[in-house]
């Protein structure tokens, strides 16, 4: 294939390509960065810059870039049977094997997968099937989902409604009915005088208050990410999730842990619920299931929910052409094989995460950083105007964007949400690369502080 030069590509991109989560008019003027190659923890752009990707693409390239085995698995499957569906009393081998593999990996009795193509669709699936679950048990009014303000569950109609991003709700008339939101746990922002542990319990109590306000007979499920990613890596105190679980059990509200980011090793455990020590009933997964090499998601259900769906659910009027696409599930199997056989999750937890935490804490010493939070292989630096106090910049997001752009110039990809610099590197990052990440991040913080001082 002939390669077009960067300028030509940017012009074509501006003319014909609408980008997600971008002001496309602004972007067209600036020109997009075009990525061309990846290897391990690094990506290269069309101008030849080598970048340390401390964000794993978009929280997803858990095994790192350039693993040929995944492409080979895709090719093998395409050559053998490129497509067949799971409708009409049919299915395909790798999809069956993947469902069994996921049942083995998932915590507790979460043993059943409905396959989709993304995390958003997994959440749409969950919304529909959970409401169906209660309806076929003569509780059609038990249909309300409780999510959290600033939660992120995708961009489809149900996904964006379950999420609590106001900017997303404003576009397209969301949320849809019977979805409510409570405040998320963010100790740095609103913990006031409470200790993190006290605050975790207080934040969980918001769920109980909301259930009682709506009536337990109306509440179908609570959905939350074990760690909230997109809003800025909000890591709840360890008291939060066990208390949420207790409340859900008390009122018979299904507990949905959105593992799209946390799943497949991000916290150093296979799933975020294991990191926090609670047992969900349902979990959407995507991203790390294929390390981002090919689109795939799944809505996973425990035995209780699956039994009702199977025995009382009748025909499930839900599914897509590519539900359980054999090429995607074959790639997922190969990805999970590598993660397991090479002990990547285990090594992340025991070797890399502790070192990363140590270096991350050092970044926390920087005068621009108000809090350096981290859990396993996911973290954030909260940039603040006044280090000793838990305050935010007046105009949120400007300093974060500045720091992100400076980091890019220094060869480091960090994502910025508001003024939080987010970290989510490939799980295969090694100690030398953690040191490189530290050096580049510190330099970028220095340069950001210098720029602010001007
Ligand atoms: N749940 C969670 C917790 C997510 O983080 C989704 C669901 C939706 O998955 P899909 O595959 O439909 O994108 C996500 C996705 C960001 C950002 O800016 C985060 C996501 C997607 C796009 C941008 O951090 N997470």
Same structural domain, 379 and 411: yes
Bridge partners for 177 per DSSP: none
Long-range CB pairs of 206-215 (<8 Å, 24+ gap) are 206/182, 207/146, 207/182, 207/244, 207/247, 207/248, 208/247, 208/250, 208/251, 209/182, 210/146, 210/180, 210/182, 211/146, 211/247, 211/251, 211/253, 214/144, 214/146, 214/180
Same structural domain, 324 and 352: no
Same structural domain, 415 and 335: no
Same structural domain, 202 and 327: yes
Substitution candidate for ligand 1 out of 62, 283, 286, 418 with most atoms within 8 A of CB: 286
> Domain range spanning residue 129?
69-341
When the pLDDT of each residue in the chain is averaged and rounded to a whole number, the result is 97
Tell me, in angstroms, the distance from the centre of ligand 1 to residue 119's CA.
Answer: 7
Same structural domain, 146 and 177: yes
Same structural domain, 251 and 235: yes
Indicate whether 28 belongs to any domain: no
pLDDT tens, residue by residue, 305-325: 999 999 999 999 999 999 999
Same structural domain, 121 and 236: yes
Same structural domain, 118 and 187: yes
Same structural domain, 324 and 369: no
Domain boundary among 341, 371, 394: 341
Indicate whether 444 belongs to any domain: yes
pLDDT tens, residue by residue, 250-274: 999 999 999 999 999 999 999 999 9
pLDDT at residue 1, as a whole number: 62
416 has a pLDDT exceeding 80: yes
Residue identifier of the C-alpha nearest atom 17 of ligand 1 = 230
Residue 54's CATH number: 3.90.1150.10
- Which residues form ligand 1's pocket by a CB distance below 6 Å? 58, 118-120, 152-154, 159, 225, 229-230, 258, 260-261, 286, 297
Indicate whether 416 belongs to any domain: yes
Same structural domain, 348 and 335: no
106 has a pLDDT exceeding 70: yes
Indicate whether 347 belongs to any domain: yes
Same structural domain, 438 and 400: yes
Place of tokens 């075009």: 34
Same structural domain, 287 and 375: no
């Amino acid at each position: 294939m002939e390669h077009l030069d960067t300028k030509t590509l940017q012009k074509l991109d501006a003319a014909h390509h609408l980008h997600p989560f971008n002001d496309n008019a602004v972007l067209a003027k600036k020109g997009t960065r075009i990525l061309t190659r990846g290897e391990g923890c690094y990506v290269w752009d069309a101008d030849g810059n080598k970048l340390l990707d401390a964000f794993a693409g978009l929280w997803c390239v858990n095994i790192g870039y350039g693993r040929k085995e995944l492409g080979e698995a895709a090719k093998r499957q395409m050559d053998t049977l490129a497509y067949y569906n799971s409708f009409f009393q049919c299915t395909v081998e790798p999809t069956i094997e993947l469902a069994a593999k996921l049942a083995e990996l998932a915590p507790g009795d979460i043993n059943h997968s409905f396959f989709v193509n993304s995390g958003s669709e997994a959440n749409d699936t969950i919304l529909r099937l959970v409401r169906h679950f209660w309806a076929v048990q003569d509780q059609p009014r038990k249909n309300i989902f409780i999510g959290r303000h600033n939660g992120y569950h995708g961009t489809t109609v149900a996904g964006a409604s379950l999420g609590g991003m106001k900017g997303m709700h404003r576009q397209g008339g969301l949320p849809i009915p019977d979805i409510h939101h409570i405040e998320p746990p963010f100790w740095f922002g609103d913990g006031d005088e409470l200790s993190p542990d006290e605050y975790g319990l207080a934040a969980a109590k918001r769920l109980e208050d909301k259930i009682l306000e709506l009536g337990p007979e109306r509440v179908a499920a609570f959905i939350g990410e074990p760690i909230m990613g997109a809003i800025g890596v909000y890591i709840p105190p360890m008291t939060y999730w066990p208390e949420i679980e207790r409340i859900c059990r008390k009122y018979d509200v299904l507990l949905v842990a959105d593992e799209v980011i946390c799943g497949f090793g991000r916290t150093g455990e296979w799933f975020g619920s294991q990191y926090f020590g609670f047992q969900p009933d349902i979990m959407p997964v995507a991203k790390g299931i294929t390390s981002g090499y090919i689109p795939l998601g799944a809505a996973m259900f425990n035995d209780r929910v699956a039994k009702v769906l199977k025995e009382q659910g009748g025909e499930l009027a839900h599914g897509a052409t590519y539900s359980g696409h054999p090429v995607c599930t074959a790639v997922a199997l190969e990805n999970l094989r590598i993660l397991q056989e090479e002990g990547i999750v285990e090594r992340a937890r025991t070797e890399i995460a502790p070192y990363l935490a140590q270096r991350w804490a050092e970044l926390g010493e920087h005068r621009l950083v108000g809090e350096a939070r981290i859990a396993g292989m996911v973290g954030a630096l909260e940039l603040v105007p006044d280090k000793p106090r838990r305050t935010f910049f007046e105009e949120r997001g400007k300093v974060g964007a500045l720091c992100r752009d400076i980091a890019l110039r220094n060869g480091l990809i960090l994502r910025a949400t508001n003024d939080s610099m987010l970290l989510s590197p490939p799980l295969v990052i090694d100690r030398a690369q953690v040191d490189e990440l530290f050096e580049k991040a510190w330099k970028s913080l220095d340069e950001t502080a210098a720029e602010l001082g001007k």
